[in-house]
Structure 1
Amino acid sequence: MTETSTRTLTSADEIASFLEQRFGQMEASSPFKTGETVRIADRAGLPSDLGVGDVALMLLDVPGAWSHVLLLTATGMPIVVQIASGNLAKRVPAEAAGA
């Protein structure tokens, strides 16, 4: 069974509150947190000159869809791109992996 409801947002304050609440829900359900470094586990659809070292910094993860990440280009330029969330994984720093 699926229940649905309708909610009318009539003011800028109501819209802002709704968006803040929705963002909090997305953030809470994400396996990645804003500011966390992640590993690019699958480069499908990602040009070879993006994501040097297969490392990115999570800016926003929309669970089940796309993530916005900060990564480096081959020339060393930081750039924000969208990448499929399923192509990312938790990153284990090299020193922790060797311990």
Structure 2
Amino acid sequence: MLTFSESRQRTLNTPDEIAAYLGETFRAMQEDGPFKPGDEVAITSRSGLPPEIGIGDVGIMLCDLPNQLFSWVWVFTAGGQQMAVQIQTANLAKREPAAGGEA
């Protein structure tokens, strides 16, 4: 077994180059993630999540990047407001439709 580190240097000279690089990197990371934007997710553990956030233990995935501890999920609050929150990715699962085909 061999373990080593590599380093490379790249110069981005313009805002357009920076934006293009960030966009490419973001798209590549999203392709590797378990969730895609718009996926319905179930909150499988409420660890660290206040009871007034994430009503129904469901939400919509906004952003999940691999090797990150948290994902951004759109949920309802107890007051009926929609809110984007960070939830531990390990506490989420793709939501299965209810019996009878209703989501």
TM-score under structure 2 length normalisation: 0.87
Higher helix share: 1
- Superposed counterparts of 1:1-99, under 5 Å: 1-65=4-68, 66-95=70-99
SS in 1 for 2:18: helix
**CA-CA distance at 1:90 after TM superposition:** 1.1
Paired residues of 1:68 and 1:80 also in contact (CA < 8 A): yes
- Sequence identity (%): 45
5+ unaligned residues in a row in structure 2: which ranges? none
For 1:75 and 1:58, locate their aligned partners in 2 and report how far apart those are by CA, in whole Å: 21
SS in 1 for 2:71: strand
TM-score under structure 1 length normalisation: 0.90
Matched pairs, number: 97
The runs of at least 4 consecutive aligned structure 1 residues that moved more than 2 Å come to none
CA distance change for structure 1 residues 4 and 96 in 2, over 3 Å: closer, same or farther?
farther
